[in-house]
Structure 1
Amino acid sequence: MKNFANLMKQASQMQSKMNEMQEKLALITVEGVSGAGMVTVELAGKGEMKSIKIDPKLADANEMEILQDLIVAAYTEARRRLDEKTKEEMQKVTGGMNLPEGLNLPF
């Protein structure tokens, strides 16, 4: 029973650390940039887009397809950076323990 009690204590501590990590991640922002800085997307910690900046030179009706591609590229880069930060924070919480593929905590 002592091992079970220790296991429950560790699970409780990990849950507490996960909650702290979620709060910390909610406060971070990351940027994705494309088109040599012509489009910048900012994401909050859970992936929601907070802002987008577009160089006025791209506001040409003939350049809409390029603009759309650059927005997607900037968002993709920001999301990749956010995923990296989340993974780094998870490593801190889990002590480097590799979680099973597909177990995307905390989301």
Structure 2
Amino acid sequence: MMNMQNIMKQAQKMQKDMEKKQAELAAKDFTGASAQDLVTATLSGDRKVKAITFNPAVVDPDDLETLADMTAQAVNKALEKIDQETQKTMGALAGKLPF
């Protein structure tokens, strides 16, 4: 059985590892796109919108609702990618818990 000092050292190391992984994740960019890539959204790993681009073919002043829907779709896909990467990265660390 591990002594408490070893458990504390491992917990501190894991915390440092998690902070490092979170910083690496925040520095990554994730891009999501709507159907046919008509709208793309790029977000940072800390969920900040960095860019939204529109294919000129989709910009119809008489149909802004479709543009809004595609924008939301692109942002949501980028958020899904962030969630997947977060789960993959942080899940690997959770498997190293000493207790």
Residues 39-79 of structure 1 deviation map (CA, whole Å, 9 limit, x = unaligned): 00001011111001101122211121100000001111100
Partner of 2:68: 68
Q: Which residue of the partner structure matches residue 23 of structure 2?
A: 23
* Cα drift, residue 26 of structure 1: 1.4
Is 2:9 aligned against 1:9? yes
What displacement does 1:96 show? 6.3
Runs of 4+, deviation exceeding 4 Å: none
Per-residue deviation, residues 1-23 of structure 1 (Å, max 9, x unmatched): x6111110111111110111011
Query: What secondary structure is seen at the aligned counterpart in 1 of 2:37?
Result: coil
Gaps of 5+ in 1: 98-107
Which runs of 5 or more structure 2 residues have no equivalent in the other structure? none
- Give the TM-score normalised by structure 2: 0.89
**What percentage of residue pairs aligned between the two structures are identical?**
32
- Check the 8 A contact 1:58/1:64 in 2, yes or no: no
How many residue pairs end up in the alignment?
96
Q: TM-score, normalised by structure 1?
A: 0.83
Residue of structure 1 in register with 2:85 after alignment = 85
| Mean CA deviation greater in 77-86 or 22-31 | 22-31
